[in-house]
């Protein structure tokens, strides 16, 4: 299995995310052999109602779409 790394992420229309939210997970300087351990998200913070849970929910949906081939055809949403 090949490792896949998420570098940019954009989401809109989930929970309170009415406008497009863009996240970038890369460093400005990337060496020839980058250390991918330095790219982990450490935390998401913000005011109440700012969309934190919407971002987390959208990532869960993306994970399910990528890992479960029948996810979009399943009438029972997890």
Structural domain contains residue 18: yes
pLDDT at 55 over 80: yes
Provide the domain count of the chain.
Answer: 1
Does residue 44 sit within a domain? yes
End-to-end CA distance of the chain: 25
Q: Tokens 């998200």 belong to which residue?
A: 41
Q: Which parts of the chain are beta strand (E)? A: 8-11, 21-24
Model confidence at 25, pLDDT cuts 50, 70, 90, reads: confident
* Predicted pLDDT of residue 78: 55
78 within some domain: no
What pairs with residue 23 in β-bridges?
9
Residue 1 within a domain: no
The range of the structural domain enclosing residue 13 comes to: 8-73
Is residue 32, in this structure, part of any structural domain at all?
yes
| 3 within domain boundaries | no
């Amino acid at each position: 299995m090949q490792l896949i790394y998420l570098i940019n992420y954009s989401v809109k229309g989930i929970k309170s995310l009415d406008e497009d939210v863009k996240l970038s997970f890369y460093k400005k300087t990337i060496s020839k052999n980058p250390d991918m351990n330095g790219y982990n998200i450490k935390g998401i913070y913000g005011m109440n109602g700012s969309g934190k849970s919407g971002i987390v929910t959208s990532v869960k949906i993306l994970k399910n779409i990528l890992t479960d081939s029948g996810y979009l055809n399943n009438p029972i949403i997890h």
